Amino acid sequence: MMECGHPYVAICPPRPPVILREDEFGLWIGETSVRRFTWRSRSNVEVQVITYGATVTSIKLPGAGGQIDDIVLGFDNMEGYLNPINPYFGATVGRVANRVGNAKITIDDITYNVSANIGQHALHGGFKGFDKVNWNHHICGNKVVMSYLSKDMEEGYPGDLLVNVSFELTEDNAFLIDFQATSTKPTVVNLTNHSYFNLAGHDKGIEELTKHEVCINADKITEVDKDSIPTGKLLPVSNTVFDLRIPTALGKVIDKIPGYDGFDHNFCVSQPSKPEEIFVARVFHPTSGRAMEVYSNQPGVQFYNSNFIPEDPNKYQGDRSKLKTLVGKGGCHYYKNGAMCFETQNWPDAVNHANFPPAVLYPGDTYHHTVKYKFFVN
């Protein structure tokens, strides 16, 4: 058919820069649906997040040769995430990430005993932290906002705390996480995302992890005792194995950390004049050509090399009957030092150290933590 001399032509609308879709990942506590959200960009970067634990379950990136790999450790189903030995894969961690010494916090001269779930200390929010609840959700354009109300004295922390975490993949392949929280009482808040990265692929293990070149923008670390509790002292990284200000292959330093089987330390991020988006770290995997940069507004980053994941039986020198098995996506066995975390956050145990950045959230104020993971292929 013709009109005004022009044929009718069926024109397909252009594909959006990023597509977002929702489906069900599984069930939690009987019939409660766990929702999964998947973003996909035009350049074939794909990110998945589920409402259980507000957890990042998958990040797929093309490599220099075009091959697409999933670069974060995780599980294929809810059974994996409910496994007691799940080491916080991809989860939103809180109310207080990292450690609290002696499981005690003091706010305005009032001392609270919080859950001691790692010896005499507290770790990652206690026995039932934010990683172990199914969050409410709301879709706003290309963002997914997940919400959780942590009740007064949950795990020992004061105040009703309303937390909102938004997730978004942008058209230039930046994955954005934005944490916000308000409280009805003075309380302590320190949230983070606990994704485990291996840019070679989630199943490639320590052999490929050691090839990664890591750069961290920090000139100090917080000194810790034998239980990884900060002493309050800051240690310069100059002339030590912790100096990662120049890109360094992990294989050259991962086995040289005094008293540790890899890094598990808070790096004090160097602060610029505009703290709203600070360069935190860059990691590059030469074989695949994949690179990731991390930006945040937080004063610290816990750089962790998955030291507490079960050890490879072929390398274990002790009683093998005591080894646990951690089976991840696609039936892959995950082993010690097979991935790394960049947990942007306040300094650990900050509430108990007057010389550390402020850690108390007061009613009327808003806790705000942003982190951006920017992906590249060289």
Q: Which residues are catalytic?
A: 194, 343
- Cα torsion 117, 294, 278, 263 to 10°: value is 50
- Nearest residue to 28 via CA among 80, 63, 98, 69: 80
- Nearest residue to 329 via CA among 32, 59, 62: 59
Cα gap 344→312, rounded to integer Å? 28
Cα gap 196→172, rounded to integer Å? 22
42 is in an annotated binding site: no
SS3 category, 157: coil
Instruction: Identify whether the C-beta of residue 366 lies closer than 8 Å to the C-beta of residue 189.
Output: no
Structure token pair of residue 36: 């999964």
C-alpha distances in Å from residue 254, one per residue of 210, 257, 264: 8, 7, 10
Q: Which residues in 218-339 belong to E strands, given as ranges?
A: 218-224, 230-236, 248-249, 264-269, 278-285, 290-296, 300-304
Structure token pair of residue 297: 């507004």
Q: Tell how strand 110-113 and strand 367-377 pair up.
A: unpaired
Instruction: Identify whether the C-beta of residue 242 lies closer than 8 Å to the C-beta of residue 262.
Output: no
196 is in an annotated binding site: yes
98 is in an annotated binding site: yes
- Please report where in the chains the tokens 């309380």 appear, as a residue: 187
- Cα torsion 21, 142, 189, 113 to 10°: value is -20
Beta-bridge partners for 236: 220
SS3 category, 203: coil
- Nearest residue to 359 via CA among 368, 370, 369, 347: 347
SS3 category, 263: coil
Cα gap 47→304, rounded to integer Å? 22
320 is in an annotated binding site: no
112 is in an annotated binding site: no
- Nearest residue to 100 via CA among 127, 80, 118: 118
Binding residues for beta-D-galactose are 98-99, 194-196, 264
